[in-house]
Amino acid sequence: MKISIIGGGAWGTTLGQTLVDNGHEVLIFDLNPLAVDKINGHHHPFFDTVLPDAVQATTDLRAVVDFSNYFLLSVPTKAVRSACKSINPLLKKPSVFINVSKGIEPDTLKRVSEIVESEITPDHYKGFVVLTGPSHAEEMILRHLTLLVSASNDLELAKEVQMIFSNDQYLRVYTSTDLIGCEVGGAVKNAIAVISGVCTGLGLGENARAAVITRGIVEIVKVVEIMGGKKETAFGLTGIGDLIVTASSENSRNFTAGKKIGLGMPVDEVYKSEKQTIEGIRTIEAMHKLSIEHGVELPMINVAYAILYGGLSIKDGLNKLLSRDLKSEDF
């Protein structure tokens, strides 16, 4: 089948290769002509790998919209709304939106599925799936074993996307009907990965990292429940699985951004030093807002927010966390 890919960055282009591996046709749209040229020259825009000839890209949005009525959205979360606004008037048929970006909109606290549904008019909208889980593009471009989850309110659609992406070489996709739990887990783990990176930049060891990952899961579960998902989903690939891969890896931009902050780099410098998407810092902003609006305690995320946006020193932030009332870990 034919799939239109919106966003030819690290992940979108890698998934384009997988779709071609699986016998599908793809056409990638990206605003950046340099990325498009690289892809059409059969090079991944960010990695030193050769792409199959059939992975093709263009800066012509209309051509990509006319190409199919299945859209893989692989732009940063902050670009999803504008991408949908551009696509919607060009659509001629009801379309399926498969999102892989991992974030929550800070101003509205909307998940990507909600953003898409609000920007695509009902006669152009056939359904939404999030494809998420522990995945570094750096590894999947080399066809290293990866497990993902295809989650949708519509189980048949989740199964269809499972079939489209799975293969017996390196990618196995599970389904889920907990769309909210999967979207939230994928977004909030990036915030925890930034915090884990800060600890590493500070020179703290593996004890601290294990603590951040484990208590991070507690914060993810709280957010999943507030936003209406199932807490059990946080214990699967899209929660714990994605947190493990992100919160302990130099391949993760969120972890690396946190590490730079821990080493003393100001946040705006961190943004300038990284050409690609760092979702976790925006997610910390969104989660802090959610914590206030819902009166729920998210200790690590709120201290991270105070450090990033409120001028709190990292030393005082750690002290604030450690001096909280002592309590039990009974579940």
Positions in the binding site for ligand NAD (CB under 6 A): 6-12, 29-32, 35, 46, 74-77, 79, 82-83, 100-103, 135-137, 276-277, 279
Write down the least CB distance from residue 18 to ligand NAD, Å.
12
Write down the least CB distance from residue 208 to ligand NAD, Å.
24
Q: Is the dihedral of CA 155, 174, 163, 8 positive or negative?
A: positive
Write down the least CB distance from residue 319 to ligand NAD, Å.
31
189 noted as active-site residue:
yes
Structure tokens at 252: 């993760």
**Tally of CB atoms within 10 A around 168:** 6
Cβ closest to ligand NAD, residue 61 vs residue 306: 61
Distance CA 38, CA 23 (A): 22
Q: Which residues contact 88 (CB under 8 A, 6 or more apart)?
A: 119, 120, 121, 124
DSSP helix/strand/coil, 213? helix
**Catalytic annotation, pick one of 189, 222, 259, 260:** 189
Cβ closest to ligand NAD, residue 196 vs residue 318: 196
User: Residues 281, 285, 288, CA angle at the centre, nearest 5°?
Assistant: 130
Phi, psi at 156, each rounded to 5°:
-60, -40
Cβ closest to ligand NAD, residue 180 vs residue 245: 245
Cβ closest to ligand NAD, residue 40 vs residue 314: 40
Task: Give 67-130 as a DSSP string.
Answer: H-SEEEE-S-HHHHHHHHHHHGGG--S-EEEEE----B-TTT--BHHHHHHHHS-GGGEEEEEE
Write down the least CB distance from residue 251 to ligand NAD, Å.
8
Residue nearest ligand NAD, Cβ-based? 9
Query: Any idea which residues carry the catalytic annotation?
Result: 189
